[in-house]
Chain A
Amino acid sequence: MQGQSQHVGLLAVNRAFSRFAHVTGYACLCGAILELVGYQVAAPATLMWPVLILLAVTLTLLVLLDRWRTTLYSVLFLAVGGVSQYWLSVSLLDAFPAVRSSHTLILSLVAVSMVLVCGSGFVPTSTIIWGTIGFAIGQAASLAAAFSTGSPIHFDAIPIVVEVGLVLVELTDAVTRSRRLAARPELDRAVLDDELSVLRYRTEVRAAALMHDTVLGHLSAIAAGTDGALSQRLGSEIDRDLAVLVGEDWLNDPAPAPDEQARSDWRRSALLAAVQDARELSLAVDVTGDPGAIGRLTTERDVAVGLAVKQCLVNVLRHAQVGHAEVVVIGSASDVSIMVIDAGRGFSERLVASDRLGLRQSVRRRIESVGGDVQLWSTPGRGTSVLIRVPAASTVRGPDE
């Protein structure tokens, strides 16, 4: 993507400049037609309609050029525009000789559109070349009209001003463009780097949560145990987790279930697996509410919720000093909420040591990394409630939004 936005930015500016030139050209030609109508109304005996037809043809060519920017249409526009400019000048100067000294715009409008329209939106040199050709043709047509009608010869100031302005703007653009836009590649790089940082951060959160759930849990169990034989269950868990952790791809996203309907089945959810693990550890867990709502989570969120609830239930076992917990599942249009409630001894989050990572890492950060949030209510002596809320599958929301 790097450098691409610079290209897109320049392209957008070129296109927009082309729109500017074409719309201004339309306004000039429409203005010329309206002014001519004004003269015709003021002097009905004059013959202005052939010029009106020529202007209408010029306007039509501008429409075509606006839609299909080809050299053919550009050449045709300049040719017909030159003829229009000539006939318009001749007709007006014949009918109203004083027009020349009245500083009216009508003698300049077609010529201005010829300077602006054909080269706009290309590289500066092309814009200048096409603009200068248009300017030369317009001026030649005006001079020829002055000869034909015997009017005093002088150049129109307004097309000259437009031509000089166009050349100056394009030259400034060409000279300063590269320095002005030097910052853009750095911003593009920053976008990519930030995206990679977010990806790395999320992966590290997942890794840290897994490390906490597995390695730290086992080490704590060993440290808190007694002399003698390693318990069979702990031994098999260590064996299983070691195989996973030093194996391949343990941080990759969980593979989507081959059958989405099957995954959405509550009985196959990671949440139920967590509940069953806790029951095996002798914690009585009641599941209430709408467990089927779990099926509306993506695989990644389902896994994150399962592991987070598992950690909550482990906390109940280790710290709450009760043998019973309740898991309530609530589904709404946009979210799925899971509440883990116990009536244990409770705690004050302020007083939890800063190096205790279970709630922070295995629950809060894990859920935040999949776009959800966690709320906790606990009162010493009166139990603890943890509310985990994650967006449902149809809700597009990332962790950084």
Chain B
Amino acid sequence: MSDQGLSYQQLDPVGSYGSRPITAVISLGIVALAAGATALSWPVVSDPVTAFLAILATSISVLGITFWSSPLRAPFRWSGFLIVLIFAGLSLVLSALSTWTTSPAVFGQWAPIAVGLILVQLSSYRPARELISTTILGGMLAGTMALLHPVSGAFVLPVLVRVLDAALPLVALGLGATAYSSGLARSLGLWYARSELNERTVSAAMKDRVVRSVQNDRVSILNHTVVPFFTEMLARDTVTDEDRSRARSIAGKIRSAMVADVDRSWLDSILDQLAEQRADRNTPGSEAVQDPHRAASAMTTEQRIVIRAVVIALFNHPGFDSDGFAILITGGSARSVVTVTAKLDDDDSVTRSDLAPYFAVLRIAFGNFHLTFQRPALTLKFSYDHR
């Protein structure tokens, strides 16, 4: 799928999570606009019930956006998008009907603006091609309602002006929203393409340090056991029973160490590294991981990165209690389920805490994400297909 087919939320979950306060402010603004404009134009409202229903439909639409843009429900799904649009379209129609028989020159102007702002809200969560399609359909609906709307009075606006008055706010904001979404997808797509190249450069610069570190580890093991034995053998040039027994013993030790290394997953390594780095904080090591089928190795690079970041964020949380921490990976040969349990002494709702952006990223990187928090027990459950 091209970057243009992806939403900002899919390309940058943390960044789009950052849009939520703005989404909330616009939501409040839309409801205030609907209520305020209806109140101000009350003299031309012919059907108060329909006017009220129009405000209600708008409110449901923005509530839907607030609900589905939560990091716990990411990515913003097509079904949610559709429901939001249905109620937005309904508000457009109901708003026009509410002034139908009193026949002002144009129907209430707040609904096309409100629907346009709803599209602006959606621009962080849905891809550009859906926004442009919706803008065209919304513009056509608003224009059609304006054409059908009865007009009377001494001064009648030209037809083109009436159609544009009805459709333009929605179309202008919808086009703006499309430009916002596609601009973000393009910029982030370019950045990712460049960063892939940069990563190779970074790896090359760090490679020497890593290789030297591994080599030093191995050489120190060899110097301790193998080198003295081989040197002695070469000097003596004969093999005895005792040498054979010593060779078996050294080989057994080396083999055991190698088997342990081979059986360690990247997840074990992360936890052991963290435990080593934070020795003073009783951080759990690889013993907290239960992965009987070695399914951790079947995660993608992106999934590994997200798990690593989430584990570190949990460990850094001031209310984290290492006693209750465990990672369990279960499942079959094609799909696994990860259950992370932790004790978290947090007064705040975890969905509003500093951990919330990580949950947004988890939701995007894995399927079927479920979070339960009954203070202090936090459980994260998610699944993935094996790569």
Contacts of A184 on B, CB cut-off 8 Å? 14-15, 357
B210 in contact with A16 (CB, 8 Å):
no
Contacts of A249 on B, CB cut-off 8 Å? 211, 215
A27 in contact with B171 (CB, 8 Å):
yes
- B214 interface residue (CB < 8 Å to A): yes
- The distance from the CB of B182 to the nearest CB of chain A, in whole angstroms, is 8
A38 in contact with B219 (CB, 8 Å):
no
- A64 interface residue (CB < 8 Å to B): no
- The distance from the CB of A385 to the nearest CB of chain B, in whole angstroms, is 24
- B250 interface residue (CB < 8 Å to A): yes
> Which listed residue, B15, B195, B218, B255, touches A207 by the CB 8 Å rule?
B218
- B148 interface residue (CB < 8 Å to A): no
Contacts of B188 on A, CB cut-off 8 Å? 8-9, 12
> Which listed residue, B113, B179, B312, B361, touches A20 by the CB 8 Å rule?
B179
- B2 interface residue (CB < 8 Å to A): no
A238 in contact with B230 (CB, 8 Å):
yes
- A262 interface residue (CB < 8 Å to B): no
- The distance from the CB of A252 to the nearest CB of chain B, in whole angstroms, is 6
B258 in contact with A105 (CB, 8 Å):
no
- The distance from the CB of A120 to the nearest CB of chain B, in whole angstroms, is 10
Contacts of A194 on B, CB cut-off 8 Å? 301, 304-305, 308
B214 in contact with A200 (CB, 8 Å):
yes
Could you mark each residue 183-206 of chain A with 1 if its beta carbon is under 8 Å from any beta carbon of chain B, else 0?
A: 110110111111111111101100
- B56 interface residue (CB < 8 Å to A): no
Q: How far is the CA of A193 from the CA of B269 in the complex (A)?
A: 11
Q: How far is the CA of A228 from the CA of B238 in the complex (A)?
A: 5
A16 in contact with B21 (CB, 8 Å):
no
When C-beta atoms are compared, the residue in chain B nearest to A113 turns out to be B172
Could you mark each residue 175-192 of chain B with 1 if its beta carbon is under 8 Å from any beta carbon of chain A, else 0?
A: 111111111100110010
Selecting from A278-286, A317-325, A337-345, A357-365, the interface stretch reads A357-365
- B346 interface residue (CB < 8 Å to A): no
- B333 interface residue (CB < 8 Å to A): no
- A104 interface residue (CB < 8 Å to B): yes
Contacts of A173 on B, CB cut-off 8 Å? 21-22
Contacts of B300 on A, CB cut-off 8 Å? 400
Asked, given contacts A181-B15, A245-B219, whether A15 binds B187 with beta carbons under 8 Å apart, the answer is yes
Asked, given contacts A200-B214, A222-B247, A223-B251, whether A38 binds B183 with beta carbons under 8 Å apart, the answer is no
A357 in contact with B173 (CB, 8 Å):
no
- B374 interface residue (CB < 8 Å to A): no
> Which listed residue, B161, B182, B262, touches A106 by the CB 8 Å rule?
B161
Tally of A-B Cβ pairs under 8 angstroms: 295
A103 in contact with B161 (CB, 8 Å):
no
- B160 interface residue (CB < 8 Å to A): yes
- A333 interface residue (CB < 8 Å to B): no
Contacts of A35 on B, CB cut-off 8 Å? 160-161, 164-165
Contacts of A181 on B, CB cut-off 8 Å? 14-15, 18, 357
A219 in contact with B164 (CB, 8 Å):
no
- B241 interface residue (CB < 8 Å to A): yes
Contacts of B144 on A, CB cut-off 8 Å? none
When C-beta atoms are compared, the residue in chain B nearest to A356 turns out to be B255
B358 in contact with A197 (CB, 8 Å):
no
B164 in contact with A203 (CB, 8 Å):
no
> Which listed residue, A16, A34, A193, touches B180 by the CB 8 Å rule?
A16
B243 in contact with A222 (CB, 8 Å):
yes
A34 in contact with B354 (CB, 8 Å):
no
Which chain B residues (1-44) contact chain A, with CB distance < 8 Å? 8, 12, 14-15, 17-18, 20-22, 25-26, 29, 33
- A21 interface residue (CB < 8 Å to B): yes
A252 in contact with B211 (CB, 8 Å):
yes
Q: How far is the CA of A245 from the CA of B243 in the complex (A)?
A: 21
Q: How far is the CA of A93 from the CA of B230 in the complex (A)?
A: 103
A21 in contact with B176 (CB, 8 Å):
yes
Which chain B residues (231-253) contact chain A, with CB distance < 8 Å? 231, 233-234, 236-241, 243-245, 247-248, 250-251
Q: How far is the CA of A22 from the CA of B172 in the complex (A)?
A: 10
Selecting from A76-84, A127-135, A142-150, A208-216, the interface stretch reads A208-216
Contacts of B207 on A, CB cut-off 8 Å? 199
B357 in contact with A183 (CB, 8 Å):
yes
A208 in contact with B15 (CB, 8 Å):
no
B12 in contact with A9 (CB, 8 Å):
yes
Selecting from A52-60, A164-172, A299-307, A369-377, the interface stretch reads A164-172
Q: How far is the CA of A354 from the CA of B259 in the complex (A)?
A: 8
B169 in contact with A105 (CB, 8 Å):
yes
Contacts of A196 on B, CB cut-off 8 Å? 206, 210
B158 in contact with A176 (CB, 8 Å):
no
When C-beta atoms are compared, the residue in chain B nearest to A364 turns out to be B262
Q: How far is the CA of A239 from the CA of B235 in the complex (A)?
A: 11
> Which listed residue, B8, B18, B244, B256, touches A223 by the CB 8 Å rule?
B244
- A1 interface residue (CB < 8 Å to B): yes
> Which listed residue, A24, A189, A197, A220, touches B173 by the CB 8 Å rule?
A24
- A226 interface residue (CB < 8 Å to B): yes
> Which listed residue, B105, B171, B214, touches A251 by the CB 8 Å rule?
B214
A161 in contact with B233 (CB, 8 Å):
no
- The distance from the CB of A123 to the nearest CB of chain B, in whole angstroms, is 15
A197 in contact with B234 (CB, 8 Å):
no
Q: How far is the CA of A360 from the CA of B263 in the complex (A)?
A: 11
- A350 interface residue (CB < 8 Å to B): no
A182 in contact with B262 (CB, 8 Å):
no
Asked, given contacts A12-B184, A182-B354, A218-B230, whether A400 binds B15 with beta carbons under 8 Å apart, the answer is no
A102 in contact with B222 (CB, 8 Å):
no
- The distance from the CB of A126 to the nearest CB of chain B, in whole angstroms, is 17
Selecting from B57-65, B76-84, B197-205, the interface stretch reads B197-205
- The distance from the CB of A231 to the nearest CB of chain B, in whole angstroms, is 9
- A63 interface residue (CB < 8 Å to B): no
Quick one: which of B22, B230, B233, B306 has the most chain A CB within 10 A?
Answer: B230
- B154 interface residue (CB < 8 Å to A): yes
B222 in contact with A246 (CB, 8 Å):
yes
Q: How far is the CA of A189 from the CA of B315 in the complex (A)?
A: 15
Task: Pull 7 A–B residue pairs with CB atoms less than 8 Å apart, ordered by A.
Answer: A8-B188, A17-B180, A34-B160, A208-B262, A219-B248, A222-B243, A361-B262
B contacts, CB < 8 Å to A: 8, 12, 14-15, 17-18, 20-22, 25-26, 29, 33, 104-106, 109, 113, 120, 123, 154-155, 157-161, 164-165, 168-169, 171-173, 175-184, 187-188, 191, 195, 198-199, 202-203, 206-208, 210-211, 213-215, 218-219, 222-223, 226-227, 230-231, 233-234, 236-241, 243-245, 247-248, 250-251, 254-256, 258-259, 261-262, 266, 269-270, 300-301, 304-306, 308-309, 312-313, 354, 357-358, 361
A16-B184, A357-B262 known; 7 other A-B pairs, CB under 8 Å?
A: A35-B165, A96-B155, A190-B312, A195-B202, A224-B244, A226-B239, A238-B234
